[in-house]
Amino acid sequence: MSKLEIKQIGKTYTNGVQAVQDFSLDVTEGEFVVLVGPSGCGKSTVLRMIAGLESISEGQMALDQTRINEMPPRERNIAMVFQNYALYPHMTVYDNMAFCLKQEKKSKEEIDQSVHEVAARLDIEDLLKRKPKTLSGGERQRVAMGRAIVRQPKLFLMDEPLSNLDAKLRSRMRREIARLHKELEATIIYVTHDQVEAMTLGTKIVVMKDGRIQQIDTPENLYYQP
Ligand code: ADP
Ligand code: ADP
């Protein structure tokens, strides 16, 4: 990905709730952008609009100079990791990871190689034959990441991916996400209400309140605010 450009997008739900207003943001390759703010401030709505899971009421969105306002989610090449994992329960870990690649009509050999390579990277090779319900929370979260990574998306969207984990596992997974960001040179937009998570992971922090951006800055500059 070279660039995601978001210009003054807004979202008013059908029930009249103005969830997001006048939201503008540029995301360039390799950035780790964190959206932070209290529950209900519009973070998930922004992510869902970028993913194409929610329509945009106002504004423009372009990925590599192509307008994506109306582009179906599948064509955007954007992967999303949720807090509740959203794995397919009846499929093995392998099939969960292979699912999107099969839909893209990749060859069996190609799929097999990608799944094993990513599984090795995430240390989940031993889990490939298991079903999600037999896994721990941390293992499920790894699988969910693996499923996103095999697709080699232009952009990763993560919505509170660690919030269902206990504190110890959370800090371990946080380090792991930071490592993956570096190794894969991935571009990530990450949602959290946790300031420590925001400060330790982000290269750019977007502070939101009541559906609007309050401030955008590097973690260093935000930290040294009086
Ligand atoms: P956050 O992710 O920061 O917790 P959300 O984007 O989930 O915030 O929600 C922003 C606002 O929009 C909240 O007031 C929420 O109740 C409302 N909202 C979210 N989803 C919907 C929906 N599908 N329909 C109506 N209102 C919604
Ligand atoms: P999060 O803040 O983590 O995104 P929520 O618990 O706020 O999750 O929302 C869960 C689901 O409920 C989302 O799909 C959201 O769109 C929907 N939702 C949230 N608030 C409302 C609302 N006021 N009216 C209708 N749907 C809502």
Asked if 169 and 142 touch (Cβ cutoff 8 Å), the reply is no
Residues whose CB is less than 8 angstroms from the CB of residue 72 and which lie 6 or more positions away in sequence, other chains included: 52
Which is it for the CA torsion 39, 69, 26, 150, positive or negative?
positive
Query: Mean pLDDT, to the nearest integer, of 208-222?
Result: 94
Spatial distance between the Cα atoms of 11 and 133, rounded to a whole number of angstroms = 36
- Ligand 2 atom nearest the C-alpha of 39 is 2
104 alpha carbon – ligand 2 mean position (Å): 30
The Cα 20–Cα 111 span in angstroms is: 39
Q: Are strands 212-217 and 66-67 parallel, antiparallel or unpaired?
A: unpaired
- For residue 97, what are its two tokens? 């990871």
Nearest atom in ligand 2 to the alpha carbon of residue 83 is: 3
At 43-101, the pLDDT tens digits run 999 999 999 999 999 999 999 999 999 999 989 999 998 877 689 999 999 999 999 89
Q: Which atom of ligand 2 is nearest to the CA of 15?
A: 24
Continuous H helices in 135-210: 137-150, 167-184, 195-201
Q: Is 19 in the pocket of ligand 1 (CB under 6 A)?
A: yes
Distance CA 117, CA 221 (A): 38
Angstrom distance (rounded) from CA 205 to CA 213: 10
Q: Does the beta carbon of 45 lie inside 6 Å of ligand 2?
A: no
- Closest protein CA for atom 23 of ligand 2: 17
Task: State residue 86's pLDDT score.
Answer: 83
Whole-prediction pTM: 0.88
Which residues are paired to 210 by β-bridges?
A: none
Q: How many CB atoms lie within 10 A of CB 75?
A: 10
Token code pair at residue 185: 């040179």
**What is the rounded distance in angstroms from the CA atom of residue 35 to the CA atom of residue 89?**
30
The residue whose CA is least distant from atom 22 of ligand 1 is 13
Q: Choose the weakest-confidence range: 33-42, 77-86, 202-211.
A: 77-86
pLDDT tens digits, one per residue of 115-160: 999 999 999 999 999 999 999 988 999 999 999 999 999 999 999 9
Average predicted confidence (pLDDT) for the chain: 93
Residue 1's pLDDT is 66
Q: What is the mean pLDDT of residues 106-119?
A: 96
> Ligand 2 in contact with 44 (CB < 6 A)?
yes
CA distances from 57 to 9, 12, 111, 206, 224 (A): 7, 6, 38, 21, 36
Using CA of residue 40, residue 43, residue 45, residue 48, what is the dihedral sign? negative
According to DSSP, the β-strands at 66-67 and 58-63 are antiparallel
**Ligand 2 probe mutation, 15, 20, 44, 85, most atoms within 8 A of CB:** 44
The pLDDT confidence band at residue 37, using thresholds 50, 70 and 90, is very high
- Can you read off the two tokens belonging to residue 167? 């504190």
Distance 45 CA to ligand 2 centre (A): 9
